[in-house]
Amino acid sequence: MSGQNESLLLLRAEIEKTRGLLGEIDAFFEAVRRNELSQLGRTKSTALIVAQILENFYTCLETLFLRISRFFENSLTQERWHADLLEKMTLRVPGIRVAVISESTHRALEELLRFRHFKRYYFQLDYDWERLDFLTKKYREVYPAVLAHLDAFEKFFLEIESDE
């Protein structure tokens, strides 16, 4: 097996692993909503849980995007690499790869990226529930879209393999 084929298989495995992790995060989010939120209400504790889930979701997805970017040797700007990486996932590069996500998915994920950056430097223990509701809405919109985009991206891999 050539190095390119092996790398391609490895990236496909990373996509599958990420899809599974995203599924676990989503299932946990639903369990928290059904259990902790319904029993405890909107407390500092439940806000921290929701904030952590949103952060984990974005970080898991960003890690996959970074692996995709490295596979296709996309260069990233040093100063804004997180935003640059997300932007690059919307690009269709003729002869190289299809876009990983759509512009609308990009916009929703930008909200989660901004929140993740905010959360990493916000050391208080209280979160604005209005903001968490907005982010949860964005998450609910983007999660199925991300899964559909990953399916489409995997079809692109099958085309690459059939061309070889």
Query: What CATH number did the domain enclosing 137 receive?
Result: 1.20.120
For 5, the enclosing helix (H) or strand (E) is helix 3-32
Residue 88's contacts (CB-CB under 8 Å, 6 or more residues apart) are 65, 69, 74, 76
pLDDT in single tens digits along all 164 residues of the chain = 455 678 888 999 999 999 999 999 999 999 999 998 888 888 889 999 999 999 999 999 999 999 999 888 777 777 888 999 999 999 998 888 899 999 999 999 999 999 988 877 766 667 889 999 999 999 999 999 999 999 999 888 777 666 55
d(CA 80, CA 122): 20
Domain count, the chain: 1
CB-CB contact of 135 with 115 (8 Å): yes
- Domain hosting residue 98, numbered range: 3-163
Which run of H or of E encompasses 123? none
DSSP state for residue 98 in the 8-state scheme? -
